[in-house]
């Protein structure tokens, strides 16, 4: 097997002349009027209520939106699979994922006029960018970043933006995460970031949406990533915790600040464990609670946990002095990567548990096939490997990652 490469869809590489595109601050009626908690200026899009065509944003979308700078873009046909006889691709990578011939960008980390943010893992949310997201995603994001100009919609409510008919559906990844179904010209297109089709205690699980074109990352797109049933993993985590506590050590679980941490908080808190979570996790948990997710038995970490308390920290702080100072502790990482051979040893932790917030290899293939999409765009993760597997099964696959992508892992 070729060396494993994990690629990311969010690599830098400015290929796009911003001066010739997206200028002028298009306005959406009602987009700036209301404010919700976290200083978000949000506008909830009414059902089947198209934007006023007189708005500059709508005009911009109705006009042929492909700017001169994109037409002159040097394109490597091997990268994007473009050949003269093939139709224009629905999605393209131009310094970010872009719905071709539209103003809509997806999870883009550069300043654009309108970006669909699929979930609250984005830490690149620009202060003056208008985002399109679920109301829950905006609530979680704005808690940390302050003011955001946002268009929000709940799941399963259809709305229109110029020529696009849009609808958000659960992605199962973290609370509020969404796939977006885009209909235009009689074609159904779905863009999503990570999806999770297994049950979760904190996020509504993803179901495949029937579509012609699908854009999805290949995060765990290798057969190596085969996750055991969730209940088994939870039993193992509880055994680890019990053994630590019986031995007088504080268990320290390392999990993503948004999503997996709250998942652990819910499962363990409801099982009666006393939790001490890092402040950054606690802040997110407060929003989860406001959004109706019960996270009992959890307090903010204050430096000296009691002997019967379980500590949860985010991965970036796993080597924090506060953990090293604990009288006696054992550390475990909670991530899908835990199934990689030797992962715990490599990460210098005592244990690792594959509780994941994204599909494993088989789940992902099942999800992709479940959409019935004839064209699939892979936007990060194990793009080359999953592309080969899907092509072998007759699916047309395109890579939607920055050119000259380097291996990151
Ligand atoms: Zn994520």
Q: Give the pLDDT band of residue 55 (cuts 50, 70, 90).
A: very low
* Domain architecture of the chain: domains with CATH: 18-64+80-223+358-399 (3.60.15.10), 230-353 (3.40.50)
Distance CA(13)–CA(169), nearest Å, equals 30
CA of 49 to the centre of ligand 1 (A): 30
Specify the pLDDT at position 190. 98
CA 87 to chain centre: 29
CA of 68 to the centre of ligand 1 (A): 33
CA of 283 to the centre of ligand 1 (A): 18
- Give the tens place of pLDDT for each residue, 84-107: 445 579 999 998 999 999 999 999
pTM of the model: 0.80
% of the chain residues with pLDDT over 90: 69
**Span of 28-42, 123-137, 370-384, 386-400 with lowest mean pLDDT:** 28-42
CA of 114 to the centre of ligand 1 (A): 20
Specify the pLDDT at position 42. 59
CA of 194 to the centre of ligand 1 (A): 6
CA of 67 to the centre of ligand 1 (A): 30
CA of 130 to the centre of ligand 1 (A): 20
CA of 119 to the centre of ligand 1 (A): 7
The total number of residues written for the chain in this structure: 409
- Give the tens place of pLDDT for each residue, 183-196: 999 999 999 999 99
> Residue 167 corresponds to which tokens in the numbers above?
């609808």
CA of 29 to the centre of ligand 1 (A): 30
91-120 as b/e, with b when 16 or more CB fall inside 10 Å? bbbbbbbbbebbbbbbbbbbebbbbbbbbb
CA of 122 to the centre of ligand 1 (A): 7
């Amino acid at each position: 097997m070729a060396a494993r490469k994990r690629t990311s869809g969010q690599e830098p590489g400015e290929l796009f002349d911003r001066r010739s595109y997206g200028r002028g601050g298009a306005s959406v009626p009602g987009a700036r009027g209301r404010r919700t908690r976290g200083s978000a200026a949000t506008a909830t899009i009414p059902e089947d209520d198209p934007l006023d065509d007189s708005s500059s944003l709508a005009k911009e979308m109705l006009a042929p939106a492909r700017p001169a700078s994109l037409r002159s873009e040097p394109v490597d046909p091997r990268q994007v699979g473009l050949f003269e006889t093939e139709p224009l691709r629905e999605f393209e990578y131009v310094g970010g994922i872009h719905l071709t011939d539209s103003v809509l960008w997806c999870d883009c980390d550069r300043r654009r006029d309108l970006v669909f943010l699929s979930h609250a893992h984005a830490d690149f949310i620009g202060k003056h960018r208008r985002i399109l997201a679920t109301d829950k995603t905006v609530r979680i994001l704005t808690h940390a970043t302050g003011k955001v100009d946002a268009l929000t919609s709940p799941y399963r409510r259809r709305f229109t933006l110029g020529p696009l008919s849009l609808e958000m559906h659960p992605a199962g990844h973290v609370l509020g995460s969404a796939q977006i179904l885009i209909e235009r010209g009689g074609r159904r297109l779905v863009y999503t970031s990570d999806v999770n089709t297994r049950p979760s205690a904190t996020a509504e699980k993803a179901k495949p949406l029937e579509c012609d074109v699908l854009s999805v990352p290949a995060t765990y797109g290798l057969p190596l990533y085969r996750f055991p049933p969730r209940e088994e993993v939870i039993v193992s985590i509880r055994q680890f915790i019990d053994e630590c506590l019986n031995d007088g050590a504080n268990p320290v679980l390392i999990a993503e600040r948004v999503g997996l941490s709250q998942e652990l908080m819910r499962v363990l808190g409801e099982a009666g464990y006393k939790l001490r979570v890092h402040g950054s996790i606690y802040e997110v948990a407060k929003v989860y609670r406001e959004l109706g997710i019960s996270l009992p038995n959890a307090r903010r970490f204050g430096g000296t946990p009691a002997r019967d308390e379980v500590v949860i920290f985010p991965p970036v702080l796993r080597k924090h002095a506060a953990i090293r100072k604990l009288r006696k502790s054992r550390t475990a990482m909670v991530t899908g990567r835990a199934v990689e051979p030797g992962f715990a040893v490599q990460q210098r932790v005592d244990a690792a548990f594959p509780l994941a917030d994204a599909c494993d290899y088989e789940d992902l293939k099942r999800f992709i096939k479940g959409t019935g999409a004839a064209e699939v765009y892979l936007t990060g993760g194990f793009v080359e490997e999953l592309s080969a597997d899907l092509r072998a099964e007759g699916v047309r696959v395109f890579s939607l990652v920055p050119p000259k992508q380097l291996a990151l892992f």
